[in-house]
Amino acid sequence: MKKRFYVMFVCSGNTCRSPLAEAILRSEIGRRGIDGVCVSSAGVSAVEGSRAAENSRTVARELGASLGGFRSSPLTARKVALADLILTMEAKHKHAILERWPGAAGKVHVITEFSGSGGRGIADPVGGPLGAYRRCGRALRAEVEKIIPKVRKSASRRRK
């Protein structure tokens, strides 16, 4: 039985939103001393090995997180199978995953649905100014704050 709870964030290219969400959650679970959680990210149309967008790296630093060694990764069947919770940035990402891997239905959610915020997800800042990335970072930090209790509880159950 797995002893870790795997959370994966998914967006399109895995260079802006999902890496930023990954960095924020990783930073917060470390800061709060939450054990047993692994965090990753991928993109439904990502190219392997790209760096996170410069503005995402800047915003991560501003939020006390790091994307320094980050490299993009495409979503694969193996990653979907390993993840316990897959949080997408928009409904289109959720639909893309479920079309390809319908068996993942119970663990794939738009982040704003899972957190209880409602809404359409997290807007894509790609190609926009730093301010758009900062808005994205603030939105992701707010969502991460809301999901941490659920992640902590799931990780705690996994270790038992």
How far apart, in Å, are the Cα atoms of 64 and each of 35, 37, 72? Answer: 19, 19, 20
- The C-alpha atoms of residue 20 and residue 70 are separated, in whole angstroms, by 10
Q: Is 16 a catalytic residue?
A: no
Burial 118-143 (b: 16+ CB within 10 A, else e): eeebbebbbeeeeebbbebbebbbeb
- The catalytically annotated residue of 16, 17, 26, 57 is 17
Do 34 and 157 form a contact (C-beta atoms < 8 A)? no
**At 149, which helix (H) or strand (E)?**
helix 130-159
Which residue is listed with tokens 């490299």?
71
Q: Is 124 a catalytic residue?
A: yes
- The catalytically annotated residue of 38, 84, 124, 158 is 124
Torsional sign, CA 106, 33, 122, 14: negative
- The catalytically annotated residue of 11, 16, 57, 136 is 11
Upper half-sphere CA count for residue 72 (Cβ side, 13 Å): 23
Q: Is 17 a catalytic residue?
A: yes
Catalytic sites, residue numbers: 11, 17, 124
